[in-house]
Amino acid sequence: MPGKDDDSVILEMRETRVRFKMDAGLLKAVDGVSLSLRKGATLGIVGESGCGKSVTAGAVFRTLPSYAEVGGDILLYEKDGKRLDEPINIAKLNPTGPEIRGIRGGNIAMVFQEPMKAFSPIHTVGNQIIEAIRLHVEPDEGKARRIAIDTLGLVGISSPEQRIDEYPHQLSGGMRQRAMIAMALSCKPAILIADEPTTALDVTVQAQVLDLINKLKAEINTSVIYITHDLGVIAETSDEVAVMYLGKVVEYCAVDALFHDPRHPYTRALLRSIPTADKRRKGRFDSIRGTVPYPMNLPERCGFFDRCDLAEEGLCGRSAAPMVEAAPGHFARCFKVEPYAAKEVV
Q: Is 49 in the site for other proteins (CB under 8 A)?
A: yes
Q: In 3-state terms, what secondary structure has residue 233?
A: helix
**Measured distance CA(158)–CA(171) in Å, rounded:** 11
| Minimum separation from the CB atom of position 278 to other proteins (A) | 8
In 96-209, the DSSP E strands lie at: 108-111, 191-195
Partner residues linked to 108 by β-bridges: 104, 191
Tell me which DSSP letter residue 305 carries.
G
Q: Is 169 in the site for other proteins (CB under 8 A)?
A: no
**Measured distance CA(292)–CA(250) in Å, rounded:** 14
| Minimum separation from the CB atom of position 233 to other proteins (A) | 5
Tell me which DSSP letter residue 104 carries.
B
| Minimum separation from the CB atom of position 274 to other proteins (A) | 6
Q: 12 vs 236, which CB is nearer to other proteins?
A: 236
Q: How far apart are the first and last CA of the chain?
A: 24
Q: Is 229 in the site for other proteins (CB under 8 A)?
A: yes
| Minimum separation from the CB atom of position 16 to other proteins (A) | 23
Cβ contacts of residue 136 below 8 Å, gap of 6+? 102, 105, 106, 187
Q: 135 vs 327, which CB is nearer to other proteins?
A: 327
Task: Give the contact letters, 244-273, x = binds to other proteins (CB under 8 A), - = no.
Answer: -----------xx--xx--------xxx-x
Q: Is 207 in the site for other proteins (CB under 8 A)?
A: yes
Q: Is 286 in the site for other proteins (CB under 8 A)?
A: yes
Q: 80 vs 202, which CB is nearer to other proteins?
A: 202
Single out the segment in contact with other proteins by CB under 8 A; choices: 9-17, 64-72, 122-130, 276-284: 276-284
**Measured distance CA(185)–CA(180) in Å, rounded:** 9
CA quadruple 205, 154, 182, 230: dihedral, nearest 10: 30
Residues that bind other proteins (CB under 8 A): 48-49, 172-175, 202-208, 210-211, 229-236, 255-256, 259-260, 269-271, 273-278, 280-289, 291-292
